[in-house]
Chain A
Amino acid sequence: MSFLRLRSHAPGARAAESAGATEATSATRSSTPRPKPATCRRNNSNITTMADQLLERAREAVEGQIDFEGQRLAEMITTVVLGGAGIFAFFIGFMAQDIKLSLYIGLAGTAVTFLAVVPPWPLYNKNPEDWLAPYSTTSGINIDVDGQKVG
């Protein structure tokens, strides 16, 4: 499984891979709200930003994103714990000549794996990838979106 690069938004080699996905996600994650139509902004800007923040928080909780090192670690833990539980289940059951013991060991191992891997434990977010600094106008590139300077 390939590790998705979500946190970094950089030109060059990084931006080249999965450009579309990165662009889309980073747009939702960036702290500066997207420019909105003038009428909307004037009347409901407070409500809109509050709702956006709430949504953002809910999405963070449900998505449970972890950093790249965490992804590698989660992958490793899945393989080791589940595979080990399978081997363990067979041999313990075979020695005890009890197939139900095998079943329960296997299911318990699976439950442990789900618990260990699925929630975004702090262990998986020890190496956060920082955002690059935004490009200054001195870089010489000007990007205009609807008459506004973006980059």
Chain B
Amino acid sequence: MHSALVRVQNVFGFFTTVAFTVAAVIALSSFIHPQTPSATIQLRNVQVVKGRPHYYSYKKEEYAHIKFDLDADLSTLFNWNTKQVFLYIKAIYPSTKPNEPASEAIIWDAILASDSAPWNENHYIHPTPPNTKKAQPKSKATAKTKSKTKQAAESPYPRGQLHLFNQRPKYQITDISGKLQNRTDVQLELSWNAQPWVGALLWANKLDMGMWKGLRGGVSDAFDFPEIGAKKKKDLETEKGKEGYRLQAGGEQPRRAPPA
């Protein structure tokens, strides 16, 4: 510590130690924040169509187009150390050979940013529920002037809550064999990856860890992929636009009455 240079090195060295220690404590502190995630997921509609992987391809493959309903409360996943939660829905179907593991394919995903990341560009904007759509012609004008500055739309539900009806998939899925029709025991499953500010990415969704409860629900009933052309081709659009905010544009109304 006798000269200025030695003091700079000494202070900076101890600063790195302190910063690392505080970061480690912060990472550990998220484990005492209780988590009780829950979700229900339901199949709404499934169709299998033939298509090509790209325009110039001679190979034809079968693609499944799965629409679903999702009610999820993941708000407890957001503690002070959460940056964002990557949420995704997998379709899981058993392999044709008995000794091979089941196939998993993601049909939809979303990035839920936490409040501590307001600049996050991938923030998922929840679509407006269909029954509230007509009730706001007045507020639209004010909202438009407000939102013109930065944000295009606001989510109608608090962060971490999702209530999707008849949601289109973001991705049509196919099998490695290219054959998907008449496959049985398909299940949809909700999973997520919690990404903290400091600490490890957390993929464990089902495990109970101390104050963290695993996901309750989040798996749909088993269904089958139908034959090609079993139903009339209706809406085979996947979700487009930034984070799928155009959800209900041209979409059908859900068959069941949404909860009040």
List residues of chain A with CB under 8 Å of any chain B CB.
Answer: 1, 3-4, 6, 62-66, 70-71, 74-75, 78-79, 82-83, 85-86, 89-90, 93-94, 97-100, 102, 106, 110, 113-114, 117-120
Which chain B residues border A79 with CB–CB below 8 Å?
A: 14
Residue of B4, B21, B26, B198 ringed by the most chain A CB atoms within 10 A: B4
B120 contacts the other chain (CB 8 A): no
Asked, given contacts A86-B22, A90-B22, A98-B80, whether A63 binds B14 with beta carbons under 8 Å apart, the answer is no
With the chains together, A119 CA to B8 CA distance in Å?
A: 9
CB-CB < 8 A to B11: which residues of A? Answer: 78, 82, 110, 113-114, 117-118
Residues of B at under 8 Å CB distance from A?
1-5, 7-8, 10-11, 14-15, 18-19, 21-22, 25-26, 29, 79-81, 116, 197-198
CB distance A90 to B26 under 8 Å?
yes
Tell which of B1, B15, B80 touches A99, judged by Cβ atoms closer than 8 Å.
Answer: B80
Determine the chain B residues whose CB is within 8 A of the CB of A86 once the complex forms.
Answer: 18-19, 21-22
- Quote the shortest CB–CB distance from A110 to chain B (angstroms): 5
| Contact present for B2 and A106 (CB under 8 Å) | no
CA distance A117 to B4 in the complex (A): 8
Q: How far is the CA of A55 from the CA of B197 in the complex (A)?
A: 49
Q: Is the CB of B80 within 8 A of A65?
A: no
Task: Look across to chain B and name the residue whose beta carbon is closest to the beta carbon of A81.
Answer: B11
What residues of A have a CB within 8 angstroms of the CB of B22 in the complex?
86, 89-90, 102, 106
> How far apart are B125's CB and chain A's nearest CB, in angstroms?
23
Q: Are B15 and A63 in contact (CB under 8 A)?
A: no
- A94-B80, A114-B11 known; A3-B1 Cβ under 8 A: yes
Whole-angstrom distance from the CB of A45 to the nearest CB of chain B?
30
B21 cross-chain contacts in A, Cβ below 8 A: 86
**Contact A65 B26, beta carbon cutoff 8 Å:** no
B143 vs chain A, min Cβ distance (A)? 28
CA distance A70 to B1 in the complex (A): 9
Extra A-B contacts (7), CB below 8 Å, given A82-B14, A117-B11: A1-B10, A3-B2, A63-B5, A71-B2, A97-B79, A106-B22, A110-B18
